[in-house]
């Protein structure tokens, strides 16, 4: 993003934003708004929030600040925003800077992390589109959905500091990640079947017996046969049984020593829960 400088009196501001501003597409949002308002400079995650240096005409900077304050991404929650004027640097474009452990420009601020978000409608459409490269890929996500809190190993929230650090993006995912027009622009968990985590099934002895869709089908059969299945999720393991199989539920309760304590019920929606149980108020 580059444009010619004008003869207007340019200013530059250091802007610090705190709240739920990491893992919600905030930096791509800042980038797009800077492009719209012809503001140069950069944005970066810090150990305390988001740090921006913005340079442009007073009118454009005012509009840019209004966008940040009043039109943040849907998942963002801003708790504080402050700005101080600094010397003009003469930038002619806007960048997203990588974050580092040494980035302490906002080190004393507090930061809130976005929780894991359920599948968005765009990803849902891709998931069930047989022509899409992420067709039936269980770990599909984008800037607007997917894991956040449970994959963070330490701040700031960047891919090298998450559980995704060992998965190198393929060319296609890298293109999406670096494309400002793509909804996966700087989505840290971005992955696909070619480069991301995979699904597989292990038997009781730890032997790998199935992969991908076959693994999922085998697990469904296991549950229908009354087996207890340990499903590894983002935050640990779910010990799972068929909720309408009394013998399987009893066996799980006995092994977990939970004679009467309620167990979590995993269903598609509230309607499915009504179909198999009585819900109180």
| Model confidence at 100: pLDDT above 60 | no
The proportion of the chain whose per-residue pLDDT surpasses 70, expressed as a percent, equals 93
Does residue 111 or residue 251 have the better pLDDT? Answer: 251
State the greatest distance between any 2 C-alpha atoms of the chain, in Å, as a whole number: 79
What confidence score (pLDDT) does residue 262 get? 87
Q: Which domains does the chain have, with CATH numbers?
A: 11-113 (3.30.70.100), 121-178 (no CATH), 200-276 (3.90.870.40)
Average pLDDT, integer, range 75-81: 91
| Model confidence at 255: pLDDT above 80 | yes
Each residue's pLDDT tens digit, 147-194: 998 998 887 888 998 999 999 999 999 999 999 889 999 999 999 999
| Model confidence at 1: pLDDT above 80 | no
Give the predicted TM-score (pTM) of the model.
0.75
């Amino acid at each position: 993003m580059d444009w010619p400088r004008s003869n207007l009196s340019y200013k530059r501001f250091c802007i610090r934003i705190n709240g739920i501003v990491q893992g919600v597409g905030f930096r791509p949002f800042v980038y797009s708004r800077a492009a719209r308002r012809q503001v140069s400079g950069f944005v970066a995650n810090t150990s305390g929030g988001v740090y921006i240096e913005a340079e442009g005409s007073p009118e454009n900077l005012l509009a840019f600040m209004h966008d940040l304050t009043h039109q943040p991404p849907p998942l963002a929650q801003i708790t504080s925003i402050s700005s101080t004027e600094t010397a003009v640097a003469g930038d002619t474009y806007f960048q997203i800077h990588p974050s580092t452990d040494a980035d302490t420009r906002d080190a004393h601020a507090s930061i809130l992390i976005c929780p894991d978000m359920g599948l968005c409608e765009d990803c849902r459409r891709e998931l069930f589109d047989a022509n899409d490269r992420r067709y039936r890929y269980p770990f599909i996500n984008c800037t607007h959905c997917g894991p956040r809190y449970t994959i963070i190993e330490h701040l700031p929230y960047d891919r090298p500091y998450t559980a995704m650090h060992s998965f190198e993006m393929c060319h296609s995912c890298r293109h999406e990640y670096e494309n400002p027009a793509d909804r996966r622009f700087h989505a840290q968990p971005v992955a696909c079947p070619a480069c991301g985590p995979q699904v597989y099934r292990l038997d009781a002895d730890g032997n790998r017996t199935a992969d991908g869709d076959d693994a999922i089908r085998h697990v469904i059969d296991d549950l229908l046969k009354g087996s207890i299945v340990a499903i590894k999720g983002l935050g640990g393991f779910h010990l799972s049984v068929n909720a309408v199989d009394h013998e399987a539920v009893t066996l799980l309760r006995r092994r977990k020593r939970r004679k009467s304590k309620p167990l979590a019920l995993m269903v598609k929606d509230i309607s499915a829960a009504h179909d198999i149980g009585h819900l109180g108020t």
